[in-house]
Structure formats: structure tokens, C-alpha cells
Amino acid sequence: MSVTNKFIAREDGVMAQVSAVSTRFAAIAFVTAAFSLAFVSRVQAQTPSQPAEIVMPSRLVEGEPATLAVLDAAGRLVPHAAINFSDGSHTETDVTGHAFLTAPLTPSALIAKVTLRPEVMAYTVVLPHSTPDRAEILSVPPLVSIHDPFEMKGAGFRGDASSNHVTFKGEPVVILASSPAALVILLDPKSAPGNGSLSITSNGPEVASGLTALSVEFTLEADRIVPGMKTKLTVRVRGTDRPQEINVENFAPEVLRFANGGSEHIRTRGGADNSAVLEVRALHAGDFSFRARILSEAGIPDAAEAHEYLDAAQIIASPQWKRRLDPVIARLEQPKPNVKQVLDELGKLIPEAPQGDFAIFLSAALSALHGH
């Protein structure tokens, strides 16, 4: 979860905050909430943007439809972006920046890449076909940022994102991507931080799950700063009174310097004023901005998902690499897999792996075992 604030330090020492809490995904929430999709498309047609990220559910269901989205570096939806998949299929985003696909007919793993920018990619697992008679929420992250997308895993959702109705505290949210087994969701940036109910109506009666949404704020102690001056930066978390581990990244160290370099790892104090303070020094006049990333606890390792990615890697592996992967896959097939041992083995294999889809599948397996 990440939040960015931008400031300007002028020569006369006057400081102005030019953009409040924002991220590339916050821009999506603003555009979607404020304008119609037709207006969004018209703006993007006038100012062509380059794809920077594919947003795709981490789980598809074999033979079932799904929706993905392509974003540019500013978080805007990108129309007419061609996407190629590792199984040879392809699709293209429409005028709204969304694309539709049908999952392969067999359980597997799948990589999606932007055709003209293959370094922009995402990966997913294709689950066996199932036909639940109603929607079910299986998991949501314990903490989410109001300004960042997150994934809800479950069953019985609609692959067409527009056919799922999701609310948080009664307010509609943005669904960036969807499949019958997962939804990628962005909350309304105006949502009040704290606990609330995340509800979905998709297939049958409404189902709901509790959710804690957090926001992060930055405050500089001094109203005026000049080069050479020291001051304090307060990072405050709203939405929980529990202490949070946060990594604060400085995007302009030549303008404002942290005591420990380009980033700081901090822990908020908890309680009503759930904040932490950093010492900073102004070096030059200019723009400066920070990004705070709340370091969420790792989720539950998913050995089955990791197995699918390794199976996909095995299919395209050379004979030498097939032999190296065989014992790793065998460990995941044990009744109680030794996840730590498999993580250690993958950690040794990945630096030596040939680049391309094979390395991507190994990294995806590692991520699944870390619970991400």
C-alpha cells in the first residue's frame, strides 16, 4: 500500500503542498468517479499514453471469461493496448482501457504481456472449472490502502467486471479487473479510513466481509524552509490505532535529505495519534515528494498456486532445467510441503534461470509461497 505527497520549497522559503495524498491509482478513482467512460476515452485519445502496468486477477477459471485493465504511469486507463498471452492467444483493450479474455480450457499458469512493450507483464493461475450457485468471499487483505488497488479472492464472481456490484461502507468501488475467482478493487478515494463492510452482489444474494482501510498523511513541521534548515516530517496513519511498519521513500534527495539516505523504515507509535517523525534537512529549492508504503504482513503460502507456476515452467524448460525442477515440484506434492525448503531452493535457482517466461514462472511461484 503506498501514498505520495508532493511539495515545493521555493527560494524565499515559502513551502507549498501542490498535491495531496495521491498515487497513480488514485487518479483512476478520480477519473472514474468524476467522468463518464466516454469522457475518459476522449481525453486519452487526445493525449496518447504508454502502457506501464497490466492489472489482472491472480486467478482465472478454465473456460470462463475475465476482465483485465492496462494503466499508464499516471494511473490512467490505456485504450487500444494489444496484449499477448503465453498460450498464444491475444486481446486488446477497448476505449475504456479494459480488455476481455476467455481463460484456457485446462488448469495452468498464464503470462500476459503488452505486445509493443513486453517488459510490461502480469501473470495468473488458471483454476479447474467450477459452477458455484452463489458468490463467496474467501479472502481479503487484513489492511488495505484507500489509494491502492487490492484483490478479493473468492468464487462465483462474474468475469465481466461491470456485472459485479461492490461497495465499501455503502459506497460503490471501482473494479479494475475480474474473474469468477478474484476481483481487483479500488476504493473511493473519499472513503473515510477505518473499519467497514465490503459487500458484493454478483451471483445470488449479497455477501460481505469486514475490511480495514487506511490512509497515510504527511506533515512538515515548518511552514517555511530554506536551504540548510532542519525540520521534522510527520507520517501519520489513519484508520487504525495499531502501530504500522512503513517504508518512506524520498523522490528528491537533492532537495530534501533524510538522515539515512533515500528511504527510511519507520514504525508508528500506535494509539490515537498513530504517527512517526523523521528528521529532514533542506538542501536546495525545488519540488520534493515522498511515498509511504505500509508493509503488510505476508499472507498464507499458497503451495497449490506455486505448483501451477512450476508446472508451467516445467513445460517450457530445457532437459537440464526439468531435472533441476523435478525435486522442487515433488516437495510441493507432499501432504505437508516444507515451504521454507522450497523457498530456499527457488531462491538459489532464480538467479541462474534463463530469462523470459521460464524465469517469470519461477518468480511467480516464489511470490505465491510468500503469500503475496
Please, what is the average pLDDT of the chain?
85
Confidence of residue 297 (pLDDT cuts 50, 70, 90): low
Q: Region 260-284: what's the mean pLDDT?
A: 91
Confidence of residue 370 (pLDDT cuts 50, 70, 90): confident
> 285 or 63: which carries more pLDDT confidence?
63
Contact 250, 290 (CB under 8 A): yes
- Computed from CA positions of residues 353, 356, 357, 362, in that sequence, does the dihedral angle turn out positive or negative? positive
Confidence of residue 5 (pLDDT cuts 50, 70, 90): low
Residues of the chain with CATH 2.60.40: 2-20+214-294, 35-124
Q: Region 169-197: what's the mean pLDDT?
A: 94
CATH class of 35-124: mainly beta
Q: What residues form DSSP beta bridges with 261?
A: 258
Q: Region 221-246: what's the mean pLDDT?
A: 90
Confidence of residue 293 (pLDDT cuts 50, 70, 90): confident
Q: Region 284-291: what's the mean pLDDT?
A: 83
> Is pLDDT at 30 greater than 80 in this prediction?
no
Give 262-302 as a DSSP string. Answer: SEEEEE---SSS-EEEEEEEE-SSEEEEEEEEE-PPP----
Residue 350: how many other CB atoms lie within 10 Å? 13
Residue 63, amino acid: G
pLDDT of amino acid 250: 87
Report the run of H or E that residue 119 belongs to, with start and end: strand 117-127
> Is pLDDT at 234 greater than 60 in this prediction?
yes
DSSP 110: E
pLDDT of amino acid 191: 92
For the domain spanning 2-20+214-294, the CATH number is 2.60.40
Give 7-75 as a DSSP string. Answer: EEE-TTSBEEEEEEEE-HHHHHHHHHHHS-HHHHHHHHHHS-----EEE--SEEETT-EEEEEEE-TTS
Burial of 37 from C-beta contacts in 10 A (0-12 / 13-18 / 19+): middle
> Is pLDDT at 11 greater than 70 in this prediction?
no
Contact 309, 365 (CB under 8 A): yes
Torsion of the alpha carbons at 56, 57, 58 and 59, rounded to the nearest 10: -130
> Is pLDDT at 13 greater than 60 in this prediction?
no
pLDDT of amino acid 1: 57
Range with top average pLDDT, 21-30, 133-142, 276-285, 316-325: 316-325
How long is the chain? 372
Confidence of residue 4 (pLDDT cuts 50, 70, 90): low
Q: Region 53-62: what's the mean pLDDT?
A: 95
Confidence of residue 371 (pLDDT cuts 50, 70, 90): confident
> Is pLDDT at 222 greater than 90 in this prediction?
no
Burial 236-267 (b: 16+ CB within 10 A, else e): bbbbbeeebebebbbebeebbbbeeeeebebe
Instruction: Give tens-digit pLDDT for 298-345.
Output: 678 899 899 999 999 999 999 999 999 999 999 999 999 999 999 999
Confidence of residue 138 (pLDDT cuts 50, 70, 90): very high
